[in-house]
Structure 1
Amino acid sequence: MNDSRCYSLGLTRQRARNATAPAADNQVNWNDTNGRELRGNIVWTCSQIGVHSLKSRAPCIYKTLDNYAEVMNLPRLGNPQNCTYPAAQLNTAGAVAYSSDQDLSKEMSVFGEPHKDEHNASGGLSGAYGVYYELDGMKFANFSGLQKHGGTPPRAPPSQQVKPWAACLSIILYPPTELLNGTFCLQVAPWPDGKPLVLPSELIRPVHQTARTKETLECSQSTFTADGGNLMDPEALANFVCRSTVQVLHYLISQLPIDWDVHFDPSTILESIKMKIDGDNVSMRAWPAGPNGRLFNIFEQPIQRNGWNIAVKWPSL
């Protein structure tokens, strides 16, 4: 293992599409369950240490980042309290002789030399295990990646031969600008057409929401929200649109692991949504037959009518 490599462990961004999702190597592959579990354990452990370090040493910075992450619904990598490190990278560096002047530029290009991470968010901090200090235990450092930094391969003790198995593993937690600033798109889940459901930045970043007006929303094709107002009663249209969001919510939740049993009450959600009717705040209508996040099964229930047993199919919620 006497060489150097880099592995993305957390969230990655496709620059051309500005779309963010878990690293491609983390896609479900039933032939590599151990690898996925290992990645998850590394990310969870390192993010937990990083969060503890930031909260204990810079609590004001942590609180500010945590508030902002709540506003934007930032995906929290690893530890649920992780509000500042949405990306992670594992670097491996093979050991060299004590007197060697070798750096990491051959294996890691510019990132193996003293460099600045210009795509890091100015308000966030990077965290690293193993920089310029003696590796005599688990150590973590918070620093701004916008400042020049770098690393070297691990060096063998003086007058000792380099062991072929000797290597240093460094975990880098860092805050990409697009993720912390909300100027990215999120690939949330598979859509029925086999493509990802993409949540655009206009739905993520607060500044976009405050600047959005109805007049700026245009579509080349007819839609219910824009074009159905003259064909439907206002309350009926509002109920239809709100129930449509419940259907989308059900579709997304139903893709989570079944044993988590994530579910909701559609009527409670709709009741919390209100509209003005004759000056009064009126809730959307209850939807007892609506989906609730659980599997939507069909079962037969016999009903007697005029002495006959009739099998009627009902949705099982």
Structure 2
Amino acid sequence: MKNFGKVGVLYGGRSAEREVSLMSGKGVHEALVSQGVDAHLFDTGEHGLIELAQAGFDRVFIALHGRYGEDGAMQGALELLGVPYTGSGTMASSLAMDKIMTKRVWLQHGLPTPAFEVLQAGADLRRVPDHLGLPLILKPPHEGSTVGIAKVSGYSDMKEAFATAAKYDSEVLAETFVAGRELTVAVLGSGAGARALPIIEIVAPGGNYDYEHKYFSDDTKYLCPAQLPEGLTQEIQDIVVRAYRALDCEGWARADLILDRAGKPWLLEMNTSPGMTGHSLVPMAARATGMSYADLCMAILADASCKLRSPARAR
């Protein structure tokens, strides 16, 4: 086994997804320790950057979700400190965390994603359904784990749905609702070596894959690999890898999609620091390939690096 030195598992944080991150970090830490890694938990919600710099970590596993951990902020700090870290770099993390910018990048690359509008306070909410149709989805563009998401079925729902999403963001993303099968696809690796893991289909009670059903309920069913024709499976995996590369993601990530009733896949978002809890989907997809949770953690850790390269100093 490669000697990784002293490893920090960054978890907790200060985002709306702190509770999930605490579970992810503990799972990753236990897995690394079981493989003989000198791993230490470090809660970025309780300890600052000075303490992180003084901790003497040789590399870190980022098990943070949401703002200040998955959005490029922590990645930038680690670049300054010269500490190798797991996952995507500063720019890719920032892009993927912003669902609006993600969609703009994907559209530039000819990738399928639902039509959308960006709403701010004072927007004429009643005109949005006229453009995007009904039903539609309102969500804060910088949150994950279904935080702040609301489905709009009629004009009268717009005000309340906007208020729900606006609690978390200064902008709100309004997106055409695509009915169909909910899929998720994990990607491991970087550059030409990036590869998609088996597709997972999520079947939640009443089609409501909310925060509770995501992390705590045993009622949600996960079909891995999803029962899809071979050609469609390959098409979806190829689209996800293209979406991953378009954002310049590295190390690992997970894309969420909807397969509509006509059999067309639609990209919803890319998670650059996915959950690693007992209910999480990347470990599930990895198991389908014969990779254990511990092996997955080790593979992700082995890929840790600083993404920025300092130019050679002039002599």
TM superposition score category, shorter chain reference: under 0.3
From the CA coordinates, give the structure whose radius of gyration is larger.
1
Higher relative contact order (CA 8 A, sep 6+): 2
- Larger helix proportion of the pair: 2
TM-score (norm 1): 0.24
